Amino acid sequence: MNWLQPICETVAPPVTNICPWLYNTDLNPDMASSTLPGLSSLRLAELLHWAAYLCVLYLVYKVISLFLRKKKLQRVFSSFPGPKRHWLYGNVHEFKQDGKDLDVVNKYAKQFDYGFPIWLGNFFASLVVYHPNYVKAILSRQDPKDNFAYYFITPWIGKGLLVLSGQKWFQHRKLLTPGFHYDVLKPYVRVTSKSVNVMLDKWEKLAPKKEPVELFHHVSLMTLDTIMKCAFSYESNCQNNSENDYIKAVYELSYLVDHRFRCFPYHNDFIYYLSPHGFRFRRAVKTKHEHTERVIKLRKESLKQETEVEMIKQKRHLDFLDILLCAKDENGQGLSDEDLRAEVDTFMFEGHDTTASGVSWTLYCMAKSERFLEIGPQSSGEYPPVPGVARELKEPIAFFDGRSLPKGTVVLLSMFCMNRSPSMWDNPEDFDPLRFSPENSSKRHSHAYVPFSAGSRNCIGQNFAMNEMKVAIALTLPRFELSLDPDNEPKLIPQLVLRSVNGIHLNLKKIEKAS
């Protein structure tokens, strides 16, 4: 085979010719040892050079993308005049969480007809609308919730009815609708009554102190107690012991989601989940999900011996989890474990803080007026528990005034501004329960008042929420006289639901029963 050697050496020279210092024993050892680090340094320098080059390219790409996005948004909203925006912050610097944020939005609603764009920075904007014709045009469609604000709560509640869209949303809506039938909700009234009475008993101990009581915290614990019993028959005792890990996780998540929405660097998943707040969020989500999964697992095991719904009814009322486990479509297909958890968590999310806000502001309105009978609609009008809902247009839309928006635009329907619009209401800032009398209601636009949204994506739990509000009012009126604390007027702030920066403080006076 020696005849092959010259050919091989011509095609591929021996390694000793390429790197003689590796094979030449006569080479100075010091020279060899100094050459190896040199090559390593050279290789590392090249890698760093290419890494820096790629980073610059990516940065240029992002800058160009953001510039094009800004130009696109300017074109989209060119026919909608709006407030002047800062070159960096957009309009966000006007919202200081000082109790005047909604006043700022309402001021612009009076200045601009039908709607105006609001900018968060200079690369994200949505159109705020509040005219009934605009609201009707949007709610008559089936556009999904926007993938911005709702994106932050999805790790918490999963992809349930609130954030789903398309065929899967339709399937879940169809399966869940029977669970909110009057006959199913009726036993919940007794459950709610027990929870409300626990709260009122606590108030009886506080009333003799003759000091204002912050209601939102008490009402929030009451609605949480109620929803946990109605969702999966869980006796939490949270009104007397709020140190439960699950209860603390629920409160933690409510705060962290709102905080993330307002902190722009946290909009990036990578930055957020490396932050202390992201760590707290993951820990709270894990606590909540483990609890829900444990309850579902135990209930499934108990249902193995109780295959008939009637057998369950003999023991206790049907809770929301029972309804989900027994729900089947026309093919006999039920919900997966992941879908079950998402719907239970969604029910908990929507039925806790939202109802707490509605009840708290209703009690506040009761303290402002003695005309209690019509107060429910008025309180939800002046202080809507959900100040606004967002939609992302899946198709272009044209409005009655000739203006239009393209596919992909985010639209924010402001219930708060709509309920305070001078063009739709006489003296909208005045508290007037008679505004919702049958006679006056028949004269107004069908979409001038939509506290539970409207159309096919209206709130599936609105009857549950209204029942809870009615029970709370009916049990509170005979036991307490409510009055305002003039030194501590609430300062409105939207935090997922309508809250107050400084709480809702009222004076409580126990009504003595006539002997």
DSSP conformation letters of 297-363: HHHHHHHTS--SHHHHHHHS---HHHHHHH---TTS----HHHHHHHHHHHHHHHHHHHHHHHHHHH
What pLDDT shows up at residue 480? 93
Residue 312's pLDDT is 55
By CB atoms closer than 10 A (0-12, 13-18, 19+), residue 319 is buried
**All residues at 6 or more sequence positions from 486 whose CB lies less than 8 Å from its CB, including other chains:** none
Write the pLDDT tens digit of every residue in 13-69: 444 443 443 344 444 555 444 554 555 666 788 888 888 999 999 999 988 998 999
Instruction: Determine the number of helices (DSSP H) and then strands (DSSP E) in the chain.
Output: 21, 11
Q: Residue 397 in 3-state DSSP?
A: strand
Residue type, 136: K
CA–CA separation, 502 and 491 (whole Å): 6
- Please tell me the distance from the alpha carbon of residue 161 to that of residue 168, in angstroms, as a whole number: 9
Q: What is the pLDDT of residues 343-364, one digit of tens each?
A: 988 888 888 888 999 999 999 9
Q: What are phi and psi of 116, to 5 degrees?
A: -150, 150
Place of tokens 């089947």: 328
Amino acid identity, position 79: S
pTM: 0.83
Q: How far apart are CA 451 and CA 378, in angstroms?
A: 11
Question: In this structure, are residues 90 and 121 in contact, taking their beta carbons and an 8 Å threshold?
Answer: yes
Pairing of strands 397-398, 480-484: unpaired
Q: What is the pLDDT of residue 103?
A: 93
Three-state SS at 217:
helix
Written as tens digits, the pLDDT of the chain (515 aa) is 444 344 334 434 444 443 443 344 444 555 444 554 555 666 788 888 888 999 999 999 988 998 999 999 999 999 999 999 998 889 988 988 888 999 999 999 999 989 999 998 888 899 999 999 999 999 999 898 887 778 898 999 999 988 888 888 998 898 888 888 888 888 899 999 999 999 999 999 999 988 999 999 899 999 989 988 888 788 888 898 877 788 788 878 888 988 888 787 888 899 999 999 999 999 999 998 988 888 888 888 777 765 545 555 555 567 888 888 888 877 778 888 889 889 988 888 888 888 999 999 999 988 887 554 445 555 667 889 999 999 999 999 999 999 999 999 999 999 999 988 888 888 887 777 777 778 888 888 889 888 888 888 888 989 999 999 999 999 999 999 999 999 999 999 988 889 999 999 999 999 887 65
Strands (E), 36-180: 115-119, 125-129
Q: Are 508 and 203 in contact (CB under 8 A)?
A: yes
Residue 108: the pLDDT is 95
Query: Using CA atoms, how far apart are residues 324 and 116, in angstroms rounded to an integer?
Result: 41
Instruction: Write the DSSP symbol of residue 385.
Output: S
Radius of gyration of the chain (CA): 30
Bridge-partner residues for 484, per DSSP? 506
What is the predicted pLDDT for the residue at 313? 52
